[in-house]
Amino acid sequence: MKPLSVYFHWPYCKSKCPYCDFFKLVQKNVDQASVVDGYIKELDYYHQILPDYCVQSVFFGGGTPSLLNPLYVERLINHVLSLWCVDKNCEITLEANPNSNRHQMFSDLKHAGVNRLSLGVQALNDQDLKFLGRTHTLVDARQSIEEVLTVFDNHSMDLIYARPNQNLDVWLQELNEAAHFGFKHLSLYQLTIEEGTVFEKKGIQALEEGKAAEMYSKTVEFLRHNGYPRYEVSNFAPASFESVHNKCYWQGDEYIGIGQSAHGRFKVRGKHYASVHPHQFEILSHDERAEELVIMGLRLQKGIEKQHFKDICGVDFDAFVNQDKLYDMVSKGLLVDEKGCVRATDKGFLILDKIIENLCV
Q: For residue 157, name the pLDDT band (cuts at 50, 70, 90).
A: very high
**What pLDDT is attached to residue 24?**
64
The region, left, alpha or beta by phi > 0 then psi within -120 to 50, assigned to residue 169 is: alpha
**What pLDDT is attached to residue 101?**
60
Among residues 256, 260, 244, 247, which one has the least CA distance to residue 6? 256
From residue 87, alpha-carbon distances to 53, 111, 159, 246, 319 in Å are 10, 19, 30, 16, 35
d(CA 143, CA 55): 33
The residues spanned by each domain of the chain are 2-246, 304-361
The per-residue pLDDT for range 265-323, each reduced to its tens digit, is 999 999 999 999 888 999 999 999 999 999 999 999 999 999 999 999 999 999 999 99
Q: For residue 100, name the pLDDT band (cuts at 50, 70, 90).
A: low
The per-residue pLDDT for range 307-343, each reduced to its tens digit, is 999 999 999 999 999 999 999 999 999 999 998 999 9
The per-residue pLDDT for range 339-361, each reduced to its tens digit, is 899 999 999 999 999 999 999 98
Average pLDDT over residues 238-249: 97
Backbone angles phi, psi at 152, to 5 degrees: -105, 150
Q: Is residue 148's pLDDT more than 90?
A: yes
The per-residue pLDDT for range 209-230, each reduced to its tens digit, is 999 999 999 999 999 999 999 9
Q: Do the strands 271-276 and 254-258 form a parallel or antiparallel pair, or are they unpaired? A: unpaired
Among residues 24, 17, 12, 15, which one has the least CA distance to residue 66? 12
Least confident stretch, 151-155, 191-195, 224-228: 191-195
Among residues 312, 294, 286, which one has the least CA distance to residue 352? 294
Q: Do the strands 85-96 and 116-122 form a parallel or antiparallel pair, or are they unpaired? A: parallel
Here the contacts of 76-82 (C-beta below 8 Å, separation 24 or greater) are 76/8, 76/36, 76/39, 76/40, 76/43, 77/112, 77/113, 77/114, 78/113, 79/40, 79/43, 80/6, 80/43, 80/55
> Percentage of residues in the chain with pLDDT exceeding 90?
86
Average pLDDT taken over every residue of the chain: 94
Q: How far apart are the first and last CA of the chain?
A: 35
Query: What CATH fold (topology level) applies to the domain 2-246?
Result: pyruvate-formate lyase- activating enzyme (3.80.30)
Residue 116 burial (C-beta neighbours within 10 Å; 0-12, 13-18, 19+) = buried
Least confident stretch, 22-36, 103-117, 185-199, 310-324: 22-36
From residue 52, alpha-carbon distances to 2, 5, 306, 345 in Å are 7, 13, 26, 38
